[in-house]
Structure 1
Amino acid sequence: MSEVEALRAGLVADIDGAASLDALEALRVGALGKQGVVTALLKTLGGMSPEERLEKGPPIQDLRESVTNAIATRKAALEQAALDARLASERVDMTLPAGDVPVGSIHPVSQVMDELAEIFADLGFSVATGPEIEDQWYNFTALNMPESHPARAMHDTFYLRAEEGVESYVLRTHTSPVQIRTMKAVAQKTGGAGEPIRIIAPGRVYRSDSDATHTPMFHQIEGLVIDKGIHLGHLKWTLETFLKAFFERDDITLRLRPSYFPFTEPSVEVDVGYSLENGQRVIGGSGDAPGGGWMEVLGSGMVNRRVIAAGGFDPDQWQGFAFGIGIDRLAMLKYGMNDLRAFFDGDLRWLKHYGFSALDVPTLSGGVGA
């Protein structure tokens, strides 16, 4: 047996007998490290003649490969043995409680939107949507708001930059354009004959305003009913039923005050009675009771004849009512929040306090009759 073969046999035997990964690493360094015996043999090839290198080089290269392969094989065996030992000795107690993990929550605005959709679905309303970047005709003109109307002023409305000679689009100031779009779609489908409509239009709206009770972007829901023989009594009953279901109280009292909106005639502001409980305003009861008062919650009215005509319906045959209310304001009233700006600050502490668990949210599954 040559010297190289004897060295290979001895190294492979030592490697196969290594009892631990640390012992194996020591053998690897002793054989293949910078000062290792195999490395020393490889360095001698540089000083040999070509003929001598051709004779002695292949056995030394085979030695290196054999040692390298033996180390890899033994390392895999030792690692597998260590894993098997851990699996045999360690146990996971499945009865232990899981650790705390971050859990998301439902934003109050999303929660209130779901509640409103549920209430109005029980009343036979469907949900309609429309674009947030709106044509001025749908946002203003079709709603009986002429060019001189204050709401069209630059300080009230966000206008988008447009090319010269082209009318600017706007960020919608209310969800009322959805009413016009829905009416026109129905009129087109029925060839102008029309058919009853009962929709709500929730969504984001934009106005140039910011303080504790106003933000440049907020959420609004508008309702529209178009039918024959509709009158103000239908509007009052709908709003009263809706508010009783939303606040989950039967003692909701409404007060309708004459007002003016260009898209309704007659128009009414709707106040709801509140009482003081532990120094806090609580919706419910008569506002005329001792310690009580009235709080404005929404605007409404009978749809203006011009708006009905703009929607493609015959105002001599069809009547209707409409109402609008801020979703954020409803959330503030129901869940005791006092600053609208906090809704959009992105503060996780606020959301943790006011947010709703996805697995344990309050519902109104009892319906409007509950």
Structure 2
Amino acid sequence: MMNRHTEARLLSYATPVILSAILLGLVLLATFFGDKALARMAAETLIRVVLVVGLWIFVGNSGIISFGHAGYMAIGAYCSAWLTLKPQMKSLFLPDLPLWLANAEWPMFPAAIVSGLLAALVALLSGAAILRLSGIAASIATFAFLAIVNTVYSNWEGVTGATSSVVGLERYVDQWTALGWAVAAVFAASLYANSASGLALRATREDEVAARASGIHIYRHRLLSLVVSGFFTGIAGVLLGHSIGVLNPDNFYLGITFISLAMLVVGGIGSLSGAVTGVLVLSILIELLVRGEQGVSVGAAEFALPSGTQEIVIGLVMIAVLILRPGGLTAGREFAPRSLAFLRNPKTKPKTAPN
């Protein structure tokens, strides 16, 4: 026998399992065909999943749009570079690092964890100030945070390389590494969303006044979600840096902010499934547009899309989704069985459609 509470818990566990299976299918497909371009696309897509799911942990549960999460990405990415680059490379590109950091050469996994924790710590400190605001004021404050991070990292020459690129990062992130982190992010997001803090935070998203009157500590729950979100966003920065092997502050500014929010809106900001769906749909679209801009041969003729088509098309897709389906492609629903009622009584079979 199974009560309603147990059924609800099983349904909540079903969503990350289904999403993880979809992501695994993507990686197996790319691996099966053995195409380097497909493997690269799969790795990039899964890194975006970590980023957008990390963003959803805060935005999807709190209802506050954040423009600052690319700043946490930059913090995670550069921290990993400080910890993993060879000392000779750091003396060349980052001569002002403290001696203990200049000589550090950590293994990749511990460096990723510490980098994510540093991003979470910065999220805690920045959120302590930003989250005293609500609504559009908080969103503007997150954009100010992003601008501050970008300005600091673009001018701190001896520590971040300023606008010069930091090269030499080990490119250890492939589709399988990215898959592991994407699955971890999906499960962590689901666990948080179904925790007492996540449920309370979503109540504040629906009606802040009623939630406050019910005794929910809005500030505390928002800050907790931002810290968890900051950790996985920082991990996304680590994965991106060790995927391309090069870091530049502009990699973590307006471009990636726009595309991550576009993926969240297109998929559906109201659900974890929507966040993953938006990444998959727009990643496929981006890949097609990039190849179109590079040129496609049809017989003796070659056709190429004008430069900048990618940004224009994504913008149009966002507008179309907002007009035709304001809740996103998933309309705020999760990928999960409609009901597990048949598990309450083992003798009862689930209903099937008549022939």
Q: Fold match, TM over 0.5?
A: no
Q: In proportion to residue count, which structure has more helix?
A: 2
Q: In proportion to residue count, which structure has more strand?
A: 1
What is the TM-score normalised by the length of structure 2?
A: 0.22
> If you compute each CA radius of gyration, which structure gives the higher value, 1 or 2?
1
